[in-house]
Amino acid sequence: MEIEVYQIIFIFIFAFLASNDALITGILNQQVITGAIIGFIMGDVTVGLTIGATMQLMRLGVAAFGGATIPDYFTGTVLGTVFAITTGQGAEYGIGLGVPVALLMIQLDILGRFCNVFILHRIDWAIEKMKLGYISPLVLSGSLIWGLTRAMPIVLMLLVGDSIITTINEAIPVFIMDGLKTAGRVLPVVGIAVLLRYMPTKTYFPYLLIGFFFTAFLKVPIIGIALLGLIVAIFIYRRGVEQHTHQGVDASPTLTTYEGGLNEDEL
């Protein structure tokens, strides 16, 4: 299937909006939602959902803490979904393609964060000249940088990619293609492991096993698990607050203590 011009335009607009929404409500850039929307534009929501879901699981815990740059799973999902549908190779192929794309496109994020320094200096200039009307448009113009650093490369890849992808496809041996499909099933493991590395897993390991056993043996669906977890969390919170109020009577924290406390946390 050839990609149509209107589809490229829709994908451009969506990529522009979604890469900005990542910094506002964080909805459109969630891989599973991205996959669904791109799938809809391309005419196969199911493939989009599958690729998006897998990419979403891969990036669990891989969050951009304090502005760290992470693999661009968003761009990976967009291109993976488009090419899975245009080549007719299905979702697993799209995942295998999306992952290397996500790794390659890391540079885009770095580029965007650098370009924004230029705008920042224009804002300094506006303050010095007291041209206050310039400040807000300058800050908002950062959205052009975020939007274009994602949308432009995606469209470029869509325009040149199809034929190149097909050529590469034919050149790749079957065992690699099968391997990529297996990789699509294995890779969420990395997302989960990164997440566990970030969380205090050593202390809270038993809770992980509760979730695991309830699903592995009893086949409780994920919403059921989330509700179960919520109940346990409420108990934990209550216990914590109760303990705190008991201690609070003796310790009687004063208003002046907070500054010291915060400074410790800063370290």
Partner 1 sequence: MKMSYKLTKADLRKVSYRAVLGSQLNWNYERMMSSGYLFAILPALKKIYHSEPEQLQDMLRTQNQFFNTHGFFMPLILGLDLAIEEADGHKAKDTVIALKTALMGTLAGVGDSIFHVIWGTIFGSIAATFALQGSLIGCIIFAVANLLLVFFGQVPLIFLGYKQGTSLVTTVKDKFNYVTEAATVLGMIVVGALIPTIVKVQIPFIYQNGEVKLEIQTVLDSIMPALLPILLVGFAYWLLGRKRMNSTRVILFMLVFSILFSALGLLA
- The reply to whether 172 sits near partner 1 by the rule CB under 8 A is no
* Cβ distance to partner 1 smaller for residue 5 or 200: 200
Whether 77 contacts 58, CB under 8 Å: no
Picking from 27, 25, 28, 4, the residue whose alpha carbon sits closest to that of residue 15 is: 28
Q: Which stretch binds partner 1 (CB under 8 A): 9-17, 78-86, 157-165, 220-228?
A: 220-228
Instruction: Supply the minimum distance, in Å, between the C-beta of residue 31 and partner 1.
Output: 8
Q: What is the contact mask toward partner 1 in residues 85 to 114, using x (rule: CB under 8 A)?
A: --------------x---x---------xx
Burial of 77 (0-12, 13-18, 19+ CB in 10 A): buried
Q: Which of residues 135-154 bind partner 1 (CB under 8 A)?
A: 135-136, 138-140, 142-143, 146
Q: Which of residues 20-49 bind partner 1 (CB under 8 A)?
A: 20, 23-27, 30, 32-33, 35-36, 45-46, 49
Q: What is the CA radius of gyration of the chain?
A: 23
Q: Which of residues 3-22 bind partner 1 (CB under 8 A)?
A: 20
Distance of alpha carbon 41 from alpha carbon 35, whole angstroms: 10
Q: Which of residues 231-260 bind partner 1 (CB under 8 A)?
A: 232-234, 236-237, 240-241, 244, 253, 255, 257-259
Q: Which of 1, 43, 216, 246 binds partner 1 (CB under 8 A)?
A: 216
**209-228: burial string, b at 16+ Cβ within 10 Å, e else:** eebeeeeeeeeeeeeebeee
Distance of alpha carbon 75 from alpha carbon 262, whole angstroms: 39
Instruction: Supply the minimum distance, in Å, between the C-beta of residue 88 and partner 1.
Output: 18
* Cβ distance to partner 1 smaller for residue 8 or 225: 225
Q: What are phi and psi of 165, to 5 degrees?
A: -60, -45
